[in-house]
């Protein structure tokens, strides 16, 4: 999802354009650029953060301009591919969202006419096409060019010879006009404008607009004026964005299947690892904090089982201050924001020790991604709730993908087995959906277990031991109930002393090699009178004899079970916190990304 | 629609790779209607997750949960607090276009009903007219007096709410009754639209909706297309797709993001594949819908069929097309060309053969080598 903003007014355009870009950040991007018309046309663009761009800007003066954030989907994110694009003479700048379907034909024609192309993008052919029609009237040139174009577009265009003017057009890619006294705006989304005006006109397909400080002229592609009344925006950003859900956390839990789809996209068939040669690594070290650390702990089992490579997990703030063994593991750093101070410090430490580093994060262009040798993004979309939900699952998905690739590269994983694992990986969105469909029942169980609880214990074994830890963390974070997780085998070494009939126990007992052991652990707890909520596998007829209540997840290879099980535990924690009227999206004392050490 | 609505509401069933209701939203936005109230009930989270606040669709969407579905008038009644002027009422499970909305909006004042000629009026609300005005709407009448039916799309005014409340007290909760009563005192115009209106009533209607939707599919080639792939016609290939060598694709087709099409597979018109669909090598698919996360094994034949989300099938599924009497809710319906209707998350073993018009409900598990006909109940295990 790319973002466009355009401005024609009397103030300096640059700060307004940069602010607008930041408000479009949530759409995701990997490169950004600005064009300002003042004395001539000035363009600055680069890949990465808007902050990168800001750092390079010499003060650009001019009261007209446009800016763009690009999210490369095919074609690499790079400085040259970033928008705005220009014509042969650097007089015209164009920002474009959408796809020009007939760009190859256009490009061949324009090249035959002598136009020189600098990039492989479809957008650049549109810039040259407008140039070929330009005879002193930008509006006319854009109109003629659009008659030759097939595809979707939202565009903004400026020309050095026509300061004070921005021309926009849309077809199947949103654009909205903002109107204020003495200035006009164009943006792909309302939030980019809200700081400057609440008066907007939505453009429709096959419409053009000419922005000048005096006002916006809306026309159709034949040049006939279109009249449409401006609308007043009355909503606030936060209300709108919850999309009918009571809390961001619940919205984000329900976005988990989508997060998995996006994270898998194009990577199951072939995972690109930025040239990082995983077959060279003799071991893997996973380093992270908080929820991401729990993903790292699950990762240890994933790497050992799928890639058959030794793996260990460490808390970032601990790893940084250890001496470090002589081996050189591949260090995988996990952080949702990519800004976690301790994880960043750990990345630097890993590199100092001569290790290759791979980072898993959700925010494009984050500090961690700049620090690491390679980055795999989780593509879970913006997460606003402080308690991590969909991003935890997306982190697991990336770990499965890396382990698969590593197993294939190292020859420890056969083709047939890999194909079977890929099929299971592809089925995970459905497995999560099956859990989401059980929400009404989980809500009822939250009432039974969570209403009056002061403490709660989570138990699991093997790959679901860290999942139990994550379940306990979720409950602590948002419901303020004291919750602890134990490896079920450790119960008899101490914690059993804490179990009474008033402490609910949540036990993960899916169908895996530890199932029998888990069942006897549940029996031990049962004997102390605690009420037990078990998470088991669909079709399990034995478990109800040992546990008081049961939430089931679809049958799958045990190594994948953390995905649906963790979602069940998120829903459980959410509904407990909701019953207890806790400020779910902003728990006390906690911040979304911890940028202090 | 039973086999396809275990995890989503009917309006979210995809045709041409978009939920049916998305066509409604797009038709509205293209007509300049951006403020949309969605009255939602069963599996409402799926709708909310998909549309969010509507921004991605250029609309502003407000959700109104309806805890109990009593009837269409009751549904409309839920939106009363959010309405203060004339409003449009549209059904989320009919495929419509901009012209359909435009024709209805073009009607200047007073309430209106969008009507259409139908080949099977007995299944709908049949409209009786005097001139341009509605006299009555008879829901599924025993005797059909006209082939004009109500499309369930209306322009209404807040004054209708009093009548809705009065009828509700008498236990009537459907809009046709309300409008028939209202027509006695108020002129309700019947607007016959030339725009698109395709209703999804039975599962095989989905194939008709799908073909209609694919008429306007874009030519987009994202993802990785290996050497030797032949593509004719208009084909959308979503991001992150991999099309293996030797595949033959004849548009109109739409492939969602993240699909993997095996070597030498053949995809024929008018077929839609959802997100994350895997098609094995040497498999042929024609005029079918494969929803999200379907995994169809190698050397299968699927024609005029609908495979619900999450269906997995091992090698050699045979779901060929032909004329059949399809059993739906106890009635048999003669359908000219139909393959298999396979419900969400069903798992089929190797070499399963499915007779024309067979309905497999959701979560069925079918062992290798089985031959199926008639109806397979939800969750059944077929040995």
pLDDT at residue B383 in the model: 87
Mean per-residue pLDDT for A570-589?
A: 89
Give pLDDT, residue A403.
95
Specify the fold of B217-382: UDP N-Acetylglucosamine Acyltransferase; domain 1 (2.160.10)
- Report which of residues B157 and A30 the model is more confident about: B157
Nearest CA in chain B to A264: B258
- Residues B275, B178: Cα–Cα separation, whole Å: 41
| Separation between Cα atoms, residue A239 and residue A246, nearest integer Å | 10
Fold for A429-597, please state it.
Rossmann fold (3.40.50)
Instruction: Give the chain B residue whose CA is nearest to the CA of A174.
Output: B58
pLDDT at position B48: 95
- Helical ranges in A228-362 per DSSP H: 237-241, 248-254, 256-264, 290-302, 316-319, 341-352
In this prediction, residue A236 has a pLDDT band, given cuts at 50, 70 and 90, of: low
Model confidence at A106: pLDDT above 60: yes
| High-pLDDT (> 70) share of chain B, % | 100
Q: Are B158 and B85 contacting, i.e. CB atoms less than 8 angstroms apart?
A: yes
Q: Give the pLDDT score at A238.
A: 58
Cα→Cα distances A534→A147, A228, A393, Å: 63, 59, 20
Q: Do B2-201 and B217-382 have matching folds?
A: no
Q: Is A2 among the residues known to form the active site?
A: yes
Q: For residue A321, what pLDDT is reported?
A: 81
Q: Is the pLDDT of residue B372 over 60?
A: yes
Q: What's the CATH number for A243-426?
A: 3.40.50.10490
**Do residues A299 and A313 lie in contact, with contact meaning Cβ atoms separated by under 8 Å?**
yes
Q: To probe the interface with B, which of A104, A170, A254, A433 has the most B CB atoms within 10 Å?
A: A433
Name the strand (E) or helix (H) holding A314.
Answer: strand A311-315
pLDDT attached to residue B44 = 94
**Residue B115 vs residue B327, higher pLDDT:** B115
Per-residue pLDDT at B123: 85
pLDDT of A281 higher than 90? no
Q: Which residues from chain B sit within 8 angstroms of residue A268, using beta carbons?
A: 258, 260
Cα separation of the two ends of chain A: 33
Instruction: Tell me what pLDDT residue A234 has.
Output: 64
Which of A31-35, A58-62, A519-523, B65-69 has the weakest average pLDDT?
A58-62
Return the pLDDT at A26.
Answer: 57
Domain boundaries, chain B: 2-201, 217-382
Of B63, B239, B278, which is closest to A266 when you measure between CB atoms?
A: B239
Does domain A3-234 correspond to CATH entry 3.40.630.10? Answer: no
Residue B9: predicted pLDDT: 95
Question: Which residues in chain A are closer than 8 Å to B240, comparing Cβ atoms?
Answer: 264-267
Sorting pLDDT into bands at 50, 70 and 90, what band is B371?
very high
Shortest Cα distance, chain A CAs vs residue B49, angstroms: 6
- CA of A270 vs chain B CAs: smallest distance (Å): 9
Q: What is the pLDDT of residue A590?
A: 65
Answer whether residue A73 shows pLDDT above 60: no
pLDDT, residue A225, reads 92
Residues in chain A within 8 Å Cβ distance of B223? 74, 266
If you average pLDDT over each of A38-42, A165-169, A188-192, which comes out highest?
A: A165-169
Residue B343 — pLDDT band, cuts 50, 70, 90?
A: very high
Indicate where chain A has its CATH 3.60.20.10 domain(s): 3-234
Taking only the tens place, the pLDDT of each residue in A523-574 is: 888 888 889 999 999 999 999 988 999 999 999 999 999 999 999 999 999 9
**CATH code of the region B2-201:** 3.90.550.10
| Burial class of residue A110 (count of CB atoms within 10 Å of its CB; 0-12, 13-18, 19+) | buried
The partner residue sitting opposite B258, judged by closest CB among A101, A228, A261, is: A261
Q: Calculate mean pLDDT across residues A267-286.
A: 79
Query: Among A183-197, A333-347, A557-571, B99-113, which range has the highest average pLDDT?
Result: A557-571
CB contact under 8 A, B276 and A426: yes
Instruction: List the single best residue of A170, A265, A377, A574 to mutate versus B (max B Cβ within 10 A).
Output: A265
Q: How far is A103 from chain B (nearest CA, A)?
A: 12
What does the pLDDT read at residue B37? Answer: 95
The residues on B that touch A, with CB distances below 8 Å, are 6-7, 30, 32, 34, 40, 43-45, 48-49, 51-53, 55-56, 58, 60-63, 218-220, 222-224, 239-242, 257-258, 260, 275-276, 278, 292-293, 295, 309-310, 312, 345
Tens of pLDDT along B59-91?
889 999 998 889 999 999 999 988 888 999 999
Are B239 and A254 a contacting pair at CB < 8 A? no
By C-alpha distance, the chain A residue nearest B241 is: A266
Mean pLDDT of chain B: 93
Q: What is the mean pLDDT of residues A155-168?
A: 94
Q: Is A206 left (phi over 0), alpha (psi -120 to 50) or beta?
A: left
Q: What whole-number distance in Å separates Cα of residue B234 and Cα of residue B256?
A: 14
Residue range(s) occupied by CATH 3.40.50.10490 in chain A: 243-426, 429-597
Burial degree of B107 (CB within 10 A; 0-12, 13-18, 19+) = middle
B30–A243 C-beta distance less than 8 A: no
SS3 content of chain B, % helix, strand, coil (to 5): 20, 35, 45
Segment B343-362 shows an average pLDDT of 96
Q: Which residue of B has its CA nearest to A250?
A: B45
Contacts of A231 in chain B (CB under 8 A): 34
* Beta strands at B365-366 and B381-382: parallel, antiparallel or unpaired: parallel
Cβ contact (<8 Å) for A254 and B222?
no
For residue B81, give every residue at least 6 positions away whose Cβ sits within 8 Å of its Cβ, in sequence order, or none.
none
pLDDT in tens, A495-520: 777 888 889 999 999 999 999 999 99
- The residue of chain A nearest to residue B256, with distances taken between CA atoms, is A265
pLDDT tens per residue across span A393-428 = 999 999 999 999 999 988 899 999 999 999 999 999
What is residue A588's predicted lDDT score, i.e. its pLDDT?
A: 67
A131 min Cα distance to partner chain B (Å): 26
- Cβ–Cβ gap A242/B309 under 8 Å: no
Please give the pLDDT value at position A515: 94
Q: Do B49 and A243 touch (CB under 8 A)?
A: yes
ipTM, interface predicted TM-score of the complex: 0.89
Q: Minimal Cα–Cα distance from B332 to chain A, Å?
A: 31
Contact residues on chain A for B260, CB-CB shorter than 8 A:
268-269
Mean pLDDT score of chain A, rounded to an integer? Answer: 89
Q: Which residues of B218-230 are buried (b: 16+ CB within 10 A; e: fewer)?
A: ebbbbbbbeeebe
In angstroms, the CA B330 to CA A59 distance is 75
Under an 8 A CB cutoff, do B222 and A73 touch?
yes
């Amino acid at each position: 999802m790319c973002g466009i903003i355009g401005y024609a007014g009397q103030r300096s355009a640059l700060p307004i354009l940069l602010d607008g870009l930041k408000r479009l950040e949530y759409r995701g991007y990997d490169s950004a650029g600005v064009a300002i018309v003042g004395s001539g046309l000035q363009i600055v663009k680069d890949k990465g953060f808007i902050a990168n761009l800001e750092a390079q800007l010499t003060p650009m003066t001019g009261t007209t301009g446009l800016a763009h954030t690009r999210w490369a989907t095919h074609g690499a994110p790079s400085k040259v591919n970033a928008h705005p694009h220009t014509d042969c003479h650097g007089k015209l700048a164009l920002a474009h969202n959408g796809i020009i379907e007939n760009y190859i034909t256009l490009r061949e024609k324009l090249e035959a006419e002598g136009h020189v192309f600098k990039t492989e993008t479809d957008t650049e052919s549109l810039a040259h096409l407008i140039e070929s029609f330009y005879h002193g009237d930008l509006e006319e040139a854009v109109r003629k060019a659009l008659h030759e174009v097939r595809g979707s577009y939202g565009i903004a265009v400026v020309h050095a010879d026509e300061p004070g003017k921005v021309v926009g057009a849309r077809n199947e890619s949103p654009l909205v006009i903002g109107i204020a006294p003495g200035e006009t705006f164009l943006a792909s989304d309302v939030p980019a404008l809200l700081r400057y005006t609440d008066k907007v006109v939505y453009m429709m397909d096959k419409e053009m607009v000419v922005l000048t400080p005096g006002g916006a002229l809306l026309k159709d592609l034949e040049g006939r004026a279109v009249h449409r009344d401006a609308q007043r925006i009355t909503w606030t950003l936060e209300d709108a964005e919850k999309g009918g859900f009571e809390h961001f956390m619940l919205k984000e839990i329900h976005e988990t299947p989508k997060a998995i789809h996006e994270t898998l996209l194009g990577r199951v068939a072939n995972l690109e690892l930025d040239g990082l040669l995983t077959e060279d690594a003799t071991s893997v070290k996973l380093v992270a904090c908080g929820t991401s650390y729990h993903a790292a702990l699950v990762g240890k089992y994933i790497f050992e089982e799928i890639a058959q490579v030794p793996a260990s997990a460490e808390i970032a703030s601990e790893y940084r201050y250890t001496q470090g063994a002589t081996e050189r593991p591949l260090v995988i750093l996990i952080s949702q924001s990519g800004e976690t101070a301790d994880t960043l410090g750990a990345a630097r430490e890993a590199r100092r020790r001569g290790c290759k580093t791979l980072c898993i994060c959700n925010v494009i262009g984050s500090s961690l991604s700049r620090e690491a040798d390679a980055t795999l993004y989780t593509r879970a979309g913006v997460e606003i709730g402080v308690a991590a939900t969909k991003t935890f699952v997306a982190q697991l998905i990336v770990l499965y993908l890396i382990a698969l690739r590593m197993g294939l590269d190292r020859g420890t994983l056969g083709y047939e087995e890999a194909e079977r694992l890929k099929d299971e990986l592809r089925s995970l969105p459905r497995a999560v959906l099956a859990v989401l469909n059980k929400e009404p029942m989980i809500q009822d169980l939250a009432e039974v277990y969570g209403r009056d609880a002061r403490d709660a214990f989570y138990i699991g074994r093997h790959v679901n031991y860290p999942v139990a830890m994550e379940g306990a963390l979720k409950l602590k974070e948002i419901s303020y109930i004291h919750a602890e997780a134990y490896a079920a085998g450790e119960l008899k070494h101490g914690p059993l002393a804490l179990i009474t009939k008033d402490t609910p126990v949540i036990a993960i007992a899916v169908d895996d090699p530890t199932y029998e052991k888990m069942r006897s652990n549940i029996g031990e707890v049962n004997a102390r009178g605690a009420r037990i909520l078990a998470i088991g596998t669909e079709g399990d007829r034995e478990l109800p004899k040992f546990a008081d209540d049961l939430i089931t997840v679809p049958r799958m290879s045990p190594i994948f079970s953390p995905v649906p099980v963790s979602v069940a535990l998120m829903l459980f924690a959410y509904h407990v916190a909701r019953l207890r009227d806790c400020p779910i999206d902003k728990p006390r004392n906690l911040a979304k990304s911890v940028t202090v050490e | 629609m039973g086999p396809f609505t275990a995890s989503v509401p009917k309006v979210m069933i995809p045709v041409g790779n978009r939920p049916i209701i998305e066509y409604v939203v797009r038709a509205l936005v293209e007509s300049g209607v951006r403020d949309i109230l969605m009255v939602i009930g069963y599996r409402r989270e799926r709708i909310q997750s998909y549309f969010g606040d509507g921004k991605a669709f250029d609309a502003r969407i407000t959700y109104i949960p309806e805890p109990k579905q009593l009837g269409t008038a009751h549904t409309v009644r839920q939106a009363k607090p959010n309405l203060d002027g004339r409003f449009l009422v549209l059904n989320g499970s009919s495929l419509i276009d901009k012209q359909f909305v435009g024709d209805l909006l073009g009607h200047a004042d007073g309430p209106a009903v969008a009507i259409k000629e139908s080949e099977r009026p007995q299944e709908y609300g049949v409209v009786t007219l005097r001139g341009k005005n509605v006299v009555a709407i008879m829901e599924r009448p025993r005797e059909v007096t006209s082939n004009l039916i109500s499309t369930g799309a209306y322009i209404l005014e807040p004054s209708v709410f009093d009548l809705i409340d009065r009828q509700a007290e008498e236990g009537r909760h459907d809009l046709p009754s309300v409008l028939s009563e209202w027509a006695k005192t108020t002129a309700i115009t019947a607007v016959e639209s030339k725009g698109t209106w395709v209703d999804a009533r039975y599962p095989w209607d989905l194939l008709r909706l799908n073909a209609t939707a694919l008429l306007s599919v874009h030519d987009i080639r994202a993802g990785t297309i290996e050497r030797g792939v032949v593509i004719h016609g208009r084909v959308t290939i979503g991001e992150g797709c991999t099309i293996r060598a030797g595949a033959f694709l004849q548009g109109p087709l739409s492939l969602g993001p993240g699909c993997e099409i095996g070597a030498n597979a053949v995809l024929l018109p008018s077929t839609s594949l959802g997100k994350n669909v895997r098609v094995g090598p040497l498999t042929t698919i024609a005029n079918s819908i494969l929803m999200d996360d379907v995994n169809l094994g190698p050397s299968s034949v699927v024609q005029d069929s609908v495979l619900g989300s999450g269906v997995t099938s091992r090698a050699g599924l045979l779901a060929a097309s032909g004329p059949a009497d399809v059993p739906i809710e106890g009635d048999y319906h003669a359908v000219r060309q139909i393959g298999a209707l396979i419900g969400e998350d069903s798992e089929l073993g190797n070499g399963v053969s499915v007779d024309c018009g067979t309905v497999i409900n959701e979560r069925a598990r079918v062992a290798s080598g089985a031959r199926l006909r008639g109806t397979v109940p939800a969750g059944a295990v077929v040995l």
